[in-house]
Amino acid sequence: MSDFPSSKYDRGKIFAKTGLKVGSNYAKHYLKSLRGSNSEQNSQFYNQTAQEILTEFTKLRGTALKIAQSLSIDQGFLPDEFAEAMTQAQYSVPPINRSLVRSIIKRELGSYPETLFASFETEASAAASIGQVHRATLKDGRKVAVKIQYPGVRDTITTDLGLAKTLFRRFIKNSDELDEYFREIESSLRRETDYIAEGESINRFHERFAGEKFETPQWVEEYSTERVLTMTFIEGNHLNEFLKTEPSQTEKDRYGQLLWDFFHQQIQEFDEIHADTHPGNFLLTPDGKLGIIDFGCVKTFPPDFFKNYLLLLPTHLDRDIDAIIKLYKELSVLKTHPDEDPKEKRYFDFCINYGYTFAMPYESDKFDFGDPEYKELIRGYTKNAPIGNEARGNKHFIYSTRVHLGLYHFLMKIGAQIDTRESRNIVADAIKTL
């Protein structure tokens, strides 16, 4: 695919086509349900519909694909088949063509890439939802990564969100409550499509973390605009490349521990949080550091929400029922006391056990994320929520869950054994401070 459908008309046509497919699928599914259906048929139906949505969203790139990414980790209101399909939105987006790349750089930086850089690779090294990355070398010899935003992405945000909201209302209960989630996504997207803001985040994270354990790029401001971002290049292996080397358990543990420590050091400082924990944003450098290479999605959570979120860990481990109910209500997980409504009681029983499973890594000094029993527990809770397709929970869960659960999935894929002693102290101290 060589172009980006940026007009409201072109994007509206794709959304409409997707909506017709979804509507047709649901009508056929309803007819089958009248004759009797089983869970396997339901799963096939959800998977087919999700794949069709993903296919059309991949054509749209931009905001539409970012919405898919935001929903790729189960938030408790999408069928699991949708969440799994949306995970594919993290990868394999077709790049725009070379002539368009040259014209964007000329418009944004004043000259064509062959004039500005000592070398510039015309083939994109990575293509994602709102932009693609090209390797280059500056005339002073520095190797850099140049991220080019697809044309018109920022202009599509409001339109895409409105169209996507209409689409998702087809399969989410109490869909009127989606508005606050979509406002949160819109706020993040507006910041994520501002490459000057991302460059400033790169500098702040470099100042905070670059050192013995972590490596972060540096922003090259003179070769950057709101739509073109240039940063120093970091060598290293992404997760799949790392696993192909058949690493030892010691090497797996080191990679995993670096990820775990990076997450908790951010909690310790309670400043900005890197809110996009998926394998494409991290790598292991040749000298054994954790490289963090994308800073588009950076969040600062309100202190009251963040404190309550952290309190979920010790209260679940202590099985403090009264404290858990209080937290669930404050975080909008529960609507009423579980003793007052059988539906809330079923949901509470599920959440408290899922919460305990989520808190388990903090229970002992060392935890094995490669344990197949733990993987099955997490998978089982994700697939068997008693109340599906329903929007619940504080809007900030969209990104806090994306960070935390994304970390767990990352560590489970590595199969890392993690030392959790320091992290337990960090969480406890953060709760006292907030």
* pLDDT over threshold 90, residue 180: no
Reading phi first (left if > 0) and then psi (alpha if -120 to 50, else beta), residue 174 is in: left
Task: Check if the beta carbon of residue 214 is closer than 8 Å to that of residue 257.
Answer: no
Choose among 191, 229, 2: nearest CA to 109: 229
Cβ(287)–Cβ(279) below 8 Å? no
* pLDDT for 228 beyond 50: yes
Per-residue model confidence as pLDDT tens digits over 355-397: 898 999 998 899 999 999 998 888 777 666 665 556 778 999 9
List the domains of the chain with CATH numbers: 8-93+156-166 (no CATH), 94-127+130-153+193-233 (3.30.200.20), 235-434 (no CATH)
211 token code pair:
């050192």
Q: Say yes or no to pLDDT of 342 above 60.
A: yes
pLDDT computed for residue 225 by the predictor: 98
Q: What whole-number percentage of the chain has pLDDT above 90?
A: 51
Kindly tell me if the per-residue pLDDT of 36 is higher than 60.
no
> Cα–Cα distances in Å, from 153 out to 125, 160, 213, 272, 359?
20, 10, 35, 25, 38
Whether the pLDDT of residue 28 is over 60: the answer is no
Neighbours of 10 (CB within 10 A): 15
336 and 308 in contact (C-beta within 8 Å)? no
**What does the pLDDT average to over 339-354?**
89
Residue 408 has pLDDT above 60, yes or no: yes
Please state, in angstroms and rounded to a whole number, the distance separating the CA atoms of residues 239 and 75.
24
Indicate the pTM of the whole model: 0.80
Q: Please write the tens of the pLDDT for every residue from 278-298.
A: 888 999 999 999 999 999 999
- Ordered DSSP codes for 152-185: TTGGGHHHHHHHHHHHHTTT-BTGGGHHHHHHHH
Mean pLDDT, range 20-29, rounded to an integer: 40
* Closest to 328 in 3D by CA, of 349, 303, 302, 299: 349
User: Which band of pLDDT confidence, cut at 50, 70 and 90, is reported for residue 26?
Assistant: very low
Which pLDDT band, with edges at 50, 70 and 90, does 183 fall under? confident
Average pLDDT, rounded, for the chain: 81
- Residue 340, C-beta contacts closer than 8 angstroms, at least 6 positions apart: none
Q: Which amino acid is at 323?
A: A
* Over residues 159-186, mean pLDDT: 74
Token readout for 15 is 């959304």
The CA distance from 315 to 325, in Å, is 10
The least confident of 67-76, 87-96, 346-355 is 67-76
Please give the residue that has the higher pLDDT: either 162 or 279.
279
Q: Answer yes or no: is pLDDT of 134 > 80.
A: yes
Report pLDDT for 306. 94
Q: Which residue has the higher pLDDT, 132 or 73?
A: 132
Query: Coil, strand or helix: which one is 136?
Result: strand
Query: So what's the pLDDT on residue 97?
Result: 87
pLDDT per residue over 202-218, tens digit each? 999 999 999 999 999 99
User: How confident is the model at residue 385, as a pLDDT?
Assistant: 62
- pLDDT, one tens digit per residue, over 79-128 is 455 555 555 544 456 788 899 999 999 999 999 999 999 999 999 998 77
Q: What confidence score (pLDDT) does residue 52 get?
A: 58
409 CA to centre of own chain: 11
pLDDT of 186: 86
- The answer to whether the CB of 242 falls within 8 A of the CB of 404 is no
- The pLDDT score that the predictor gives to residue 270 is 74
Average pLDDT value for residue range 237-258: 95
